[in-house]
Structure 1
């Protein structure tokens, strides 16, 4: 079985964030699978410019190169004001063709809504980038007094990875046979 290279993108760069822990959990779940080769892209590890530059910086090229090398993505996002953070939008916008004809899944966190509003906004953005978003996602309610690694979250993550790897394989085969036209 060929392993899909799945980039786990940690979208929050705030001090005191929980996204890095959620991202590690997602990468651990992925690493236990025979069909996934996870790579973590934590946006806090990139020195992106504060304003969109006229030419890509080395850090932008490093990020977009990782996006290009991935077969699919899991975006780990908080919900801030019923949407996703600006740091994530900035990083998404640095790439364009690199996203095309690849799948994405979502792991979101927030209060009560578990970050689902952020996911719905991300689905619209990724549709514009020709990304196939999978139906099943994982949500974390930060108000709940429970550990991150629960049975129901593991089942949801496994279902998301099942869908993600199916699409990653199918779309990789399709891109190999014929270049994607956008």
Structure 2
């Protein structure tokens, strides 16, 4: 059993001008840094250096940070998901969402079906910020301290799935890889 911390890609799902995603992703990465079983690397879809594929391929687990646009998730995120296949297979994915009244939860529900098709395992627990920007203070941290509790619960389950699936892939490679 490998106890090496899981390399966790925190994906900033929005590429819009003035986006709030980097703030939410930085907070998520800080929550991951509080754990010994995970390490974080932020994957920004606006990065044009060509490193996104390498970052996704190196990851053992993922946290997708997504806003909700028109009751779903951003097109650049869909494009990135579709441009990769084996990077997602037999790996866990958790979600941190933000948006208006729904807090991005409709985007997450759409993402679950897409990732299931790619043979990924989505973690049921989700961190959701209803109202997005107004949920965070000037320091870039959520104003509700319960957000950290929710994040740690989600990350604990992500770590469990991540270690379990990494161990399984080492014993028996996932079919089709």
Aligned counterparts, 1:14-163, within 5 A? 14-46=16-48, 59=50, 62-142=51-131, 145-147=134-136, 148-149=141-142, 150-163=144-157
1:115-138 Cα deviation digits (max 9, x unpaired): 000000000000000000001010
| Runs of 4+ residues deviating >3 angstroms | 143-146
SS at match of 1:8: strand
Pair 1:22–1:144, CA change in 2 (3 A)? closer
CA contact (8 A) 2:44 2:52 kept: no
CA distance in 1, matches of 2:61, 2:146: 23
Worse-matched range after superposition: 146-155 or 161-170: 146-155
CA contact (8 A) 1:8 1:23 kept: yes
CA contact (8 A) 1:83 1:121 kept: yes
Q: CA deviation at 1:4?
A: 0.7
CA contact (8 A) 2:129 2:135 kept: no
Pair 1:143–1:175, CA change in 2 (3 A)? closer
CA contact (8 A) 2:98 2:132 kept: no
1:170 aligns with 2:164: yes
Taking structure 1 as the reference length, the TM-score comes to 0.88
Unaligned runs of 5+ in 2: none
SS at match of 1:99: coil
Q: CA deviation at 1:166?
A: 0.4
Q: CA deviation at 1:93?
A: 1.0
Pair 1:146–1:90, CA change in 2 (3 A)? closer
Unaligned runs of 5+ in 1: 48-58
SS at match of 1:136: strand
CA contact (8 A) 1:112 1:143 kept: no
CA distance in 1, matches of 2:109, 2:130: 16
